[in-house]
Each structure stands twice: as C-alpha cells, then as structure tokens.
Amino acid sequence: MIKDFGLVAAGIVLLYAGGEVMVQSATRLALLLGISPLVIGLTLVAFGTSAPELAATLAASFKGVGDVAFGNVIGSNIANIGLVLGLVALVSPLKTTFRFITQEMPFMLFVSSLLFLLGRDGYLGRLDGSIFLFLLVLFLFFLFKRDKTLSNLADNQKKEPLSKIILYTAGVFVSIGLLSLGANVLVEGAVNIARHLGVPERVIGLTMVAVGTSLPELVSTLVAAYRRAGDIILGNIIGSNIMNILAILGLTPIIKPFSFSKEGVTVDLSIMIFFSLMAWAMLAHQKRVGRLKGTILLGCYIFYVFYLYQ
C-alpha cells in the first residue's frame, strides 16, 4: 500500500514537471511565432496541460481499466471548472469578452452534451473517436481563421531565429516523455489503491487521477493569475475541457476502444455539464468571475468530492 501511494506521488511529480515544461515551451514557442494570448490558451497551452489526461487515459485504456480512463476525463473537466477556476478567481478576479461568452463557451457545452449522448452506452469506439477528432479539426480551423493566426505565423517565422524554434519544439517533446511516464506510474498506483481499499475505480478516476492530471492546469493558471494574464487563464481552462473531450476521447478510442461501467455515468456527465453551465452563467453575468463566484465554484467541487466518497 505504501508503495502504491509512492507511485501516485511520483506520478504526480512527473506529470507536474512535464506539464511545466510543456506550458513553458509551448507558450514561448507560440509567442515567438506571434500567436495571440487567447489562441495560445485555447490551443497550445490547453493541449499541453491536457497532455497528462491524454497519457493517463491511454494508459488506463491499455491496462483495461475503462472506468479510470473515462472517469479521468470527466473528473478533470469538473476539476478544471470547480477547483482550478474557483481557486484562480479567489487569487485574482477574471474578466472576459463578449465573443468568448458567445463562441468558445457554447462550443464547450455542445461537445459536453455530445459526449453525454455518445457515452451513455458505456462504450467509446472508433466511430465515436472519429466524430470527436473531426470536430476538433473544425474548431481549430475556425479559431485560427477568425484570429488570422496562420498569416501571423507565416510573417513571424521569417523574423525569428530557427534555433529558438527548435529549442522550444524540443522542450515540447521532452515534456511528452515526462507526461507519458508519469501517467503510467500514476494509473498503476491509483488502480492498486482502489483495489486495496475497495473504492470503485470510477471514483478513483473521477478524483485522485483527475486532480493529479489537472495539476498542470492549476499551476499554469495560478501563475497566469499572478501575472494577470486573463486571456491565457480562461483559454487554458475552457480549451482544456474542449481538448479533453475532442482530442483525448477522440484519439484514445481510435487507438484502443474501451468500455466502462454504465453505473454513475449519467450522473457524472450531468454534473460535468452542470459545472459548465454554472461557469457560463457566471461569466455571462457582468463578464467577470470574482471571489464570491470563485468561492461558490470551489464549494460545489468540494461538495461533489464528498458526495463521491460517501
């Protein structure tokens, strides 16, 4: 048992290190190439901080523990809004734009609802994964086209030294290695603990593994909050939730289709959508999430975890 807790701790440390390297490398690479802060948050930083969830979900799928694989994504999305957004709002109130409220937030709710429809049967196959990946390509295409990111990219590539681009690209690949190793160690330890204590693997995936793989989001957003980079914060949180569904649950079932227990799935997905709706309503009200709203989000998340373990 002590060994298993050690594995979980080691996995979280490796995930944290990999997430930090990923965020730093991806952010600097994006800035070097002239990508806007909101697009950085919604794409590179969001995918970078979602990489632990991808690695953990793939590892759980190959180990045959579908409840951990699916629960990790759902739990991470809930943690991103309840825990991460709640804590960050307590540190520094967040402001947003009308466009973000009317475009990115509704899209996150759309893909969450789609997952609810496709995941109720307790199985995600290659067709489901293909649908998610197709939507991911559309999302990125319209995002880049709207912000003219591709034209900015072409212009800045001519001005910046190739050595810096190679350096930050290498940092991304190093971080992927750390994240993959950390995810395997974390999943192994978490599943062993679940079996020793008789805790359902679904609950372990929704809480221990989900929070562990959400640490990069938490750390990166807290750092961004300290620097008052609101666009990166909201882009990272909402972008990570979109990436968790479209990228992770797109790639994983294509590589290795997996099944999971139907018990509790409807409830868990409903709670995920509830947190998403609550965040949307809070942002729509005065286009701001202050400390009171952050306290409400964090309180709801603590109550949710308490409910799971009861």
Instruction: Kindly list the domain boundaries of the chain, sorted by start residue.
Output: 2-309
Spatial separation of the C-alpha atoms in residues 39 and 302, rounded to whole Å: 31
Residue 93: what residue type?
A: P
pLDDT digits (tens), the chain, 310 positions: 788 888 888 888 887 787 777 777 777 777 777 776 677 777 777 777 777 778 888 888 888 878 888 888 898 899 999 998 998 888 888 887 777 888 889 999 999 999 999 988 888 999 999 999 999 999 988 887 776 654 555 555 555 567 777 888 788 778 777 877 787 787 778 778 877 878 777 787 777 777 777 776 676 677 667 666 666 677 878 888 999 999 999 999 999 888 888 777 788 899 999 999 999 999 888 888 888 999 999 999 999 888 887 7
Domain 2-309 homologous superfamily, CATH: NCX, central ion-binding region (1.20.1420.30)
* Dist CA 292 CA 13 (whole Å): 31
Q: Are 253 and 126 in contact (CB under 8 A)?
A: yes
- Predicted TM-score (pTM) of this structure: 0.79
**How far is it, in rounded angstroms, from Cα 185 to Cα 145?**
39
Which secondary-structure segment (H or E) carries 148? none
Residues 6+ apart with CB under 8 A from 229: 37
